[in-house]
Structures are given as structure tokens and as C-alpha cells.
Amino acid sequence: NTSLDDDGRNASLKNYDSIKNTYEALFDENKYQQLLSDGHRRISQKATLGALFIKLYRNEPVLQLPHRLLTQLVDIDQLLTSWRYRHSLLVFRMIGVKIGTGGSAGHGYLKKTAEKHSIFRDIANLSTYIIPRSSLPKLPKELKKELGFYYKYGK
């Protein structure tokens, strides 16, 4: 990008490298396991790939409800984070930066908690891997048939 200065360009390149490493880890079992061990991921690689499949092919009839469930989990997580943040603001307004009534570090602790604790962050981060529908590979006919609703009479 020609409009960026050197610092902005370096930050963009660092961000690009980070995203590239995230993509590589998605399909490399050892790298993904390391992310799990380091606490950067909470759900397994298989679960992440399954959830990504659901998000990418959410228009398939049998995947519409699982997609809604994933969306609702992220919504719940965002609402909890929002509540935590608003609670930290209320605490700041009431007691300032003093020690909290429960013995915690007060406003600072609550604010960090709101920023840090996200139960379904792995699911929310799946949007990083979403590609345009026009670039999405078509499903094999046999798999598409299994993902649809149909009745089979007899054998």
C-alpha cells in the first residue's frame, strides 16, 4: 500500500504474517496442537474444521440449524463480554480505581476480564477463514445428497 509510511507498512506485513501462520496452523496438526497447548485455541482442530465447514456451506439444508447454533453461541459470548465491560464501567463510576468490594483489583481487573475472557472466541474467529461464495468449491454430488433432506423408501 503506497499510502502507508514505513511503520504502517511493517505493521501490515507483521499482521499478514500472523494471518498466514493462522492459516497454516489450521491444516497442520502439529502447529494446531501447539496453539492448543499455548492456550491460543480452546477447541480441537477437528471441531474447528467442522465448524468452518458449517459456516462455509451454511446454505445446505442440514447445516442451517448447526450454523444458527454457532451464531447464537457467538452472540451469547458477545453479550457476556458487553455485560462485563458495562459492569466494569459501573464499578469505575461507583468506586473509581479502589479495591473492589469482593477483594479484587476493582475496575482494572474487571476491564481486563472483559477483554480477555471469551468462551467461544475460536468460533468467532472463523470469519478469518471465510472466502467468497464464488470461490467456494462445489460439494461432490454424493456429499450434497447426504446434506440434503430426502426420503429413501425401501432398500
Q: d(Cα 57, Cα 32) in Å, to the nearest integer? A: 23
pLDDT in tens, 88-105: 888 888 888 788 777 777
Q: In which element (H, E) is residue 67 found?
A: helix 64-95
**Angle CA 139–73–46, to nearest 5:** 45
How long a stretch of residues is the chain? 155
Q: Which residue has the higher pLDDT, 48 or 112?
A: 48
Question: Is pLDDT of 112 > 80?
Answer: yes
Question: Is pLDDT of 153 > 70?
Answer: no
The whole-model pTM stands at 0.77
Cell of 126: 472463523
Mean pLDDT, residues 6-30: 88
Question: Is pLDDT of 10 > 80?
Answer: yes
Cell of 152: 429413501
Question: Is pLDDT of 150 > 70?
Answer: no
pLDDT in tens, 122-145: 999 999 899 998 999 998 988 888
pLDDT in tens, 44-97: 999 999 999 999 999 988 899 999 999 999 999 999 999 989 988 888 888 887
| Amino acid 1: pLDDT | 66
